[in-house]
Structure 1
């Protein structure tokens, strides 16, 4: 595993949301992010994906391609587009003004059938619309949309909670078996500790713990109480 930082937060703050976020995520790491409602997880995701900029401090993302899997993946698809158009749309936006745009888009277009097959979908559905698919198929198409282009960084925002069991298992295997740096945001602390290298715990807009996931060493009583309650909820 490389020691180079792919994600770096340097005292990043957003007024009324998060304060002095300072941490880094290294290339190839699998990081789990957890915290109670209102802890600042959504703001953290927005800062990582570029949907929000900090009021103070810095956020440095050193990934050329970032894949984002939202909480309800299937609802992120435009019903008027074909499946192929939905999958490649983020890449069309990313490559605007790129010198090799046409060639790169053609390469990505040609890789869509293989991506669909890897997710257990027939390549023929590429010409259908999302309305013509089942809920589980739409979820897998949204995952293909996030993973096309071999992103160096993938952010999965509570994505597993909305997926059927088979799709959730498939996505987990794909992400954990990839070389991508992955940030999982979840309420399931047991699952995060079992699958992630490190855990980041947020409370009240601040980072209260960042360290090994399999052995959380904290003297913070609030963090300890939260972890105990979160563990009981998943049992």
Structure 2
């Protein structure tokens, strides 16, 4: 009579049982397929609570990369800084730094910051005002830069007060940048309760394009004449 060879599945089950120490090598020789299956089921049920499924780290990284569009997580973390000045004197017709430079670190993948500066002008009636945000080496006294090109014009009326705001999107490169708030008054007065906030725009997620730098505001003198 021909000897029946054990099937591949049975050999696999025997190996599992031997690995977990559920049977000895000597006992394995006399086991039937049915008995092996019964023992295997008991062993798996006993070990199931402690068994884990291996995860592929490369798969986790790939899924994370898809969710972040292949960019570093820091790209999507908003960073913000702010400055405040309760009172700064303004000489007539002089570009003045109202809030000293504040510093922000722009992470890789971020190409814009959102800057908002406001100044409460207190001065004689019929005084004209100009407000803008300067970036990095764009000193207030020089009147240069994208913030200056798009400066905000205003005027003090009979109440002797004027609140001027510039809200602007400024292009940046990754790294450390500084921003300052600048003001101008045609007659001597005071900049009151001035504030400046700058925050990174996460990955420029909104898309779109920015307006050209040149021709975005009236040229000529500081008052755009």
TM over 0.5, shorter chain: no
**TM-score, normalising length: structure 2:** 0.23
Q: Please identify which structure carries the higher helix content.
A: 1
**TM-score, normalising length: structure 1:** 0.22
Q: Please identify which structure carries the higher strand content.
A: 2
Rg comparison, structure with higher value: 2
